Structures are given as structure tokens and as C-alpha cells.
Chains A and B, each alone.
Chain A
Amino acid sequence: MLILLAGIFLLHIASIVLLLVATIDNSWWVTEQTATDLWGTWVYQNGNWNLTNVVTNSQEYLQAVQATSVLACIFAILGLFVFIAQLFTLQKGQRFIFSGVFQFLACLCIMIAASIYTDIFHKTDRGQYGYCFILAWIAFCLTLISSIIYFVLRKKVK
């Protein structure tokens, strides 16, 4: 049972790490000379990387993606603390509903962020998706699995 607990804990921490990296690092879309979104654009000029502002026609959508990915991080981190608290305070036989709710909210938020980004941005640009974009979708899967586990798991009755 301790292994199961450790596994769930590691899954949660992995999802937090992936969410943080996807949110903080500016690499949702890359070309040969640039790596851009969500907070700035890195441009490779004369042997140096320079950070500039993101130039886009959809400023509002970019800010929505920023907001929801930040919210996903916040919910995942809060969910970790709630899970640890519920480990000690939950009655035997009860489910970890509260932590599951937080992970589910994180899943929802990162899904909204990644979906908006996929649908709105870079439809006609040359380039490819960067690793942060991929990590965001992987984090969506991890948080979904994590929240389902929390909804199903019961505290040990003995």
C-alpha cells in the first residue's frame, strides 16, 4: 500500500513539474531562429538569443492561454497540499474527493489552455510545435489519470 501511495504521489508531482515547465518556458512554437509563446519570443540573432514581446493578432487569446495555464499550475499545487492534508484528516473508507476535484480543475484548465492554443495560433505559420506544447498535453493526461485515481481511491479501512 505504501508503494501505491508513493506512486500516486509521484504521479501528482510529475504532473506539477510538467505543468510548471510548460507554463514558464517560452517554447510552444519553434522555428529555426525563434522559440515563442506564452510570455515572450526568443530570437536567435548574431549568435545571441534575445527576448522580445510576442507579436500576434490575438492578444486576448494569448492572455487567456496564459491565465488558464497559470491556473492549472495553481490548482495542481493546491491539490498536492490538499491530498497531504486529506491523508491525515480523512475518515477511513472515505474517498479523496477534494484532491480529486483540484486535480480535475487543473486538468480542465490545461485542456482549455492547450485547446485554445491549438485552435487559434500558428494556423498558417511555418515551423513546428515546441516541447512546452507537448508537455502541456501530456500534463493534461497525467492530471486526468490522477484525478480519476483520487475519485476512485478509498482510505484504507484498517
Chain B
Amino acid sequence: MLAFLALASIALVGIAPQCQAIVIYTGWERHALVGSDVRLSCSFFSWRWTSEDVTFSWSYRPDGSRDSISIFHFTGGAPYVDNKGPFRDRLEFVGNPSRRDGSILIKNLDFNDNGTFTCDAKNPPDIVGRPSSVRLLVFENLPVQAGVITGAIIGAVLGLLVLIVVIYYLMRFLVARRVFNLSVSKHGKKGKGKEGSQQRQPRRTPPFSFLSS
């Protein structure tokens, strides 16, 4: 009976490799300015516990080229950054492997850094998975996204219009309420407060009171 259960569980583990594959997440595209730093994040999902032999490796393929070059590798608990290639002295490991984070920081970007960065993570014994790529775009000045300013101007003006109309009708409503309060209180109390006749504020005496008294 126990043997049967053990065999069944092993069979299930064996025939369902898809849900055991490691899934790697990077961004889709990163935009950055020339001379700035960019953080390329890479994390993974795995059904296994994070092993001590977890490895991360980043490779870079320039735009228009078909070859990719390896620029970063983390293995055996230690990071190894590029010391000969296009990113020497510019690459820094800012991830936390025990938290499944294999992010790298590239400093002082240049136009030659445009390209595709691929992150491959392995969590033994969970090693079957697809590497994930993020595209880096380096700009001289960040372009304004289409329609942001347009929408902002339209929204601001229409919002202002709605606000003015609301305030106008509110003022009219409040003035009407004050008129209502004045007709209720008979002794000519012209209180300036919006709450009506309960307030005792210093007020100008109405001119005709001189005549009536």
C-alpha cells in the first residue's frame, strides 16, 4: 500500500514536469538616459526551496548583432562581474540570491549599450526553464509619451471648468439659504456666518434701526 503511494507520487512528479519548470521574470523594456544608471531586475519562481547552489547569469546581445556575450554570473554564493567586456567597471550586482533576486546595476550608460539582456537562473534541482530577456533603450532625452501633455491640458481645463460651475451653483445655493434664514429670524439679524442666525458676530447695524428705534 505504502509502496503503491510512493510509486504514484513519483509518477506524478515524473509526468508533470511543466509545473516544476523554473519561471524567470525580467522586465520587457527599460528606458534610460545617457549617462545614467539602470537597474535590470531578474527574479524567478520555483516550486523548490531556494538552493544554496542557485545560479544567475546575464548575457548581452547588442542591437543588430547575432552574438551574445556573457557579462555576469553568480554561482557558489559569489558574484562574478564582467572584467574584460563592454561593461567592465560598470557592472554591479545588487541582487539578493537568497530572496531569488538576481538584479544587476549598469552605470554610466552609453548609446552602445542598446541591446537585449538575457537573464538565466537555475535553482538545482529545478533547472528546466526559459531565460527571460529585457530590452534596454538608451535615449538622449526621454521622449514625451504620446498624449500625456494633451490629456493633462484637456483634463486640467475641463476640471477647472467643472470646479467653477460647482462653486457658482454652491454660492447661489448658500446665498439662497441665507435669504431663507433672514426671513425666519425677524429682528434683522444680518449674521455674516454661513450657519445662519445662531452666530453672534459683531455686525453693522442696519441703517433703518436708527429710524425705527
Contact = CB atoms under 8 A, between A and B. Distances in A.
Q: What bracket does the count of chain A residues touching chain B fall in?
A: 10 to 19
B153 A60 contact: no
B157 interface: yes
Interface stretch (A41-49, A63-71, A121-129, A131-139): A63-71
Contacts of A70: 150, 154
Interface string B169-212: 00000000000000000000000000000000000000000000
Interface string A51-87: 0000000011001101110110010000000000000
B144 interface: yes
Nearest to B154: A67
B144 A59 contact: yes
Interface string B141-181: 00110111111111001100000000000000000000000
**Residue among B147, B150, B158 with most chain A CB within 10 A:** B150
Contacts of B148: 63
Contacts, number: 31
B158 A60 contact: no
A60 B154 contact: no
A64 B153 CA distance: 7
Nearest to B153: A67
Contact of B147 (A63, A68, A71, A74): A63
A71 B159 CA distance: 12
A66 B143 contact: no
A97 B149 CA distance: 31
A63 B148 CA distance: 8
Nearest to B152: A67
Contacts of A71: 153-154, 157-158
Contacts of B146: 63
Given A64-B153, A67-B154, 16 more contacts: A59-B143, A63-B144, A63-B148, A63-B149, A63-B153, A64-B150, A66-B150, A67-B149, A67-B151, A67-B152, A67-B153, A70-B150, A71-B153, A71-B154, A71-B157, A74-B154
Top 9 A-B pairs, shortest CB-CB distance: A67-B153, A63-B149, A63-B150, A67-B150, A66-B150, A59-B144, A67-B154, A71-B157, A60-B149
Interface of B: 143-144, 146-154, 157-158
Interface of A: 59-60, 63-64, 66-68, 70-71, 74
